């Protein structure tokens, strides 16, 4: 980027172009914008933070940075786990937090048009008023933003049945690396005109453009909920239960796994009682008698796979209480120390073997790994926990992190199911993709961002 490293020119230029209240240069305030939730990833010190309130201010910022050859890192709520939103030395952090409006909820065509700074839960709440639902549900839905979710192709608990963010993006408005505004996609149920430019932006982690508006598909709201929970004597038996559910043609809205280390962390905080090697939690949202039959069928597969105990909810309130155990998992583990969050996805048929292999990695590297999994689609989150300040343990954790990447690839999986590549997994991406495919991605980036100012160092 800028060879002289002079922030003064950048700041003076932006001061001439932007209102004073959206340009932040106070180091104490900027410190809160330096990193996402991946403390293990490198982060620089930005020259300034820009918090635009209008698309024209996004354009002005990017255009100036293009001319000055200054990096631009777009940031939503900073809930990412790969360092994709971490600042670059001398660059600009462009926060979309104030671009949080709801332009339209169209109940007839079942779509929403929203700003990138709107939170996932805020969209869900507004959609529910129209008897509609936005299914992507990352664990950070209360805080994470739509722009960030689109940029990382976020998933969540309901992906096995309802898909990920990509399945709900109909159209995007975005600013490219020259500061030019584009609209790509459609608002109709079908459309096959031209290349899928909007699709390229999904999962691009801010490397191709700054998303300034999103048109998102909505579904009818379901009010039915049943929860089935079972404990298992081993990770392998739990993994076999998941495979049995899939083999029977059953697709719960969510099918989550918590291992013993995770359950122990939850128990330390909430005193949940006896602990198993693993617990599976299935959420059934099929309506009426069909939902009852599906819950019974899932329960039967759990029992046949060797569950030591099993239960199901008797009413919607109890269903929410049982499923609430899952929502306690990540915050409970975070209380134990520093957490390096892995995110791998493997074929469900290999889940039992991979879960056992993760346990062996923890033993070999002498680290605590608490595994949470969206088991229904083979997406594992092994959380590598180390005591704060223990540098030797941190080194072992990084080694375990890399070993888990190799484990996923060896089982026909991918290095990231939903968190993205960011700065933590650039090396892993190059182990998964061929050099030719990486080169194609770099060529595509050069079309959108010819000077390479958009989120350099993340992914591409």
Average pLDDT of the chain, as a whole number: 94
Angle (deg, nearest 10), helices 235-247 and 288-304: 140
Tell whether 41 is covered by a domain.
yes
| Weakest-pLDDT range from 107-121, 259-273, 446-460 | 259-273
Share of the chain above pLDDT 70, in %: 98
Instruction: Decide if pLDDT at 198 tops 80.
Output: yes
In the predicted model, what is the mean pLDDT of residues 218-246? 93
pLDDT at residue 193 greater than cutoff 60: yes
Instruction: Convert the pLDDT of each residue in 389-437 to its tens digit.
Output: 999 999 999 999 999 999 999 999 999 999 999 999 999 999 999 999 9
* Mean of pLDDT values over 359-371: 96
pLDDT for the residue 1: 57
Q: How many domains does one find in the chain?
A: 3
**CATH number, domain at 74?**
3.30.43.10
371 and 272 both lie in a single domain:
yes
Residue 332's domain comprises 226-410
pLDDT at position 2: 54
Task: Tell me the per-residue pLDDT of 284-343, one tens digit each, with 9 for 90 and over.
Answer: 998 888 999 999 999 999 999 999 999 999 888 888 888 888 888 999 999 999 999 999
pLDDT classification of 3: cutoffs 50, 70, 90: very low
Whether 427 is covered by a domain: the verdict is no
CATH code where residue 115 lies: 3.30.465.10
Q: What pTM was computed for the model? A: 0.94
User: Do 65 and 120 have their domain in common?
Assistant: no
Torsion, CA 363, CA 330, CA 343, CA 132, rounded to 10? 150
| Residues 262 and 161 reside in one and the same domain | no
**Which letter does DSSP use for residue 376 in this model?**
G
Q: Assess whether pLDDT exceeds 80 at residue 448.
A: yes
One domain for residues 373 and 387: yes
The three-state (H, E, C) secondary structure of 334-367, written as one string = HCCCEEEECCEECCHHHHHHHHHHHHHHHHHHCC
In three-state secondary structure terms, 137 is strand
The answer as to whether 451 is a domain residue is no
């Amino acid at each position: 980027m800028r060879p002289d490293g002079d922030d003064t020119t950048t700041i003076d230029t932006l001061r001439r172009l932007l209102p004073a209240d959206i340009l932040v240069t106070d180091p104490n305030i900027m410190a809160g914008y330096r990193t996402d939730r991946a403390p293990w990833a490198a982060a620089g010190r930005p020259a300034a933070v820009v918090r635009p309130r209008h698309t024209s201010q996004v354009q002005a910022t990017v255009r100036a940075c293009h001319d000055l050859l200054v990096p631009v890192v777009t940031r939503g709520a900073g809930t990412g786990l790969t360092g994709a939103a971490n600042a670059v030395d001398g660059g600009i952090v462009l926060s979309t937090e104030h671009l949080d409006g709801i332009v339209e909820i169209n109940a007839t065509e079942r779509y929403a048009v929203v700003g990138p700074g709107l939170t996932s839960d805020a969209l869900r709440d507004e959609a529910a008023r129209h008897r509609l639902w936005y299914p992507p549900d990352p664990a950070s839905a209360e805080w994470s933003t739509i722009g960030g979710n689109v940029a990382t192709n976020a998933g969540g608990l309901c992906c096995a049945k309802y898909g990920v963010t990509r399945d709900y993006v109909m159209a995007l408005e975005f600013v490219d690396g020259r500061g030019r505004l584009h609209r790509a996609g459609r608002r109709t149920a079908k459309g096959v005109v031209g290349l899928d430019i909007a699709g390229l932006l999904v999962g691009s982690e801010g490397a191709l453009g700054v998303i300034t508006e999103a048109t998102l598909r909505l579904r009818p709201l379901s009010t039915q909920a049943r929860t089935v929970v079972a404990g298992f004597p081993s990770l392998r038996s739990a993994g076999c239960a998941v495979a049995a559910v899939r083999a029977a043609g059953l697709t719960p809205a969510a099918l989550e796994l918590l291992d013993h280390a995770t359950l122990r962390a939850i128990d330390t905080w909430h005193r949940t009682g006896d602990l198993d090697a693993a617990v599976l939690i299935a959420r059934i949202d099929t309506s009426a008698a069909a939902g009852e039959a599906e819950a019974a069928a899932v329960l039967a597969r759990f029992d046949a796979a060797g569950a030591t105990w099993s239960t199901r909810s008797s009413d919607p309130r109890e269903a929410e209480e049982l499923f609430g155990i899952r929502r306690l998992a990540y915050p409970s583990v975070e209380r134990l120390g520093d957490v390096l969050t892995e995110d791998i996805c493997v074929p469900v048929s290999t889940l039992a073997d991979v879960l056992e292999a993760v346990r062996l990695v923890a033993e070999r590297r002498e680290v605590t790994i608490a595994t949470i999994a969206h088991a229904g689609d083979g997406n594992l989150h092994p959380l590598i926990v180390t005591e704060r300040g223990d540098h030797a343990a941190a080194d072992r954790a990084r080694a375990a992190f890399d070993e888990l990447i190799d484990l996923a690839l060896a089982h026909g999986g991918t290095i990231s199911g939903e968190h993205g590549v960011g700065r933590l997994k650039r090396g892993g991406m190059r182990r998964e993709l061929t050099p030719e495919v990486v080169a194609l991605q770099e060529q595509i980036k050069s079309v959108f961002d010819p000077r390479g100012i958009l989120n350099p160092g993340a992914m591409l």
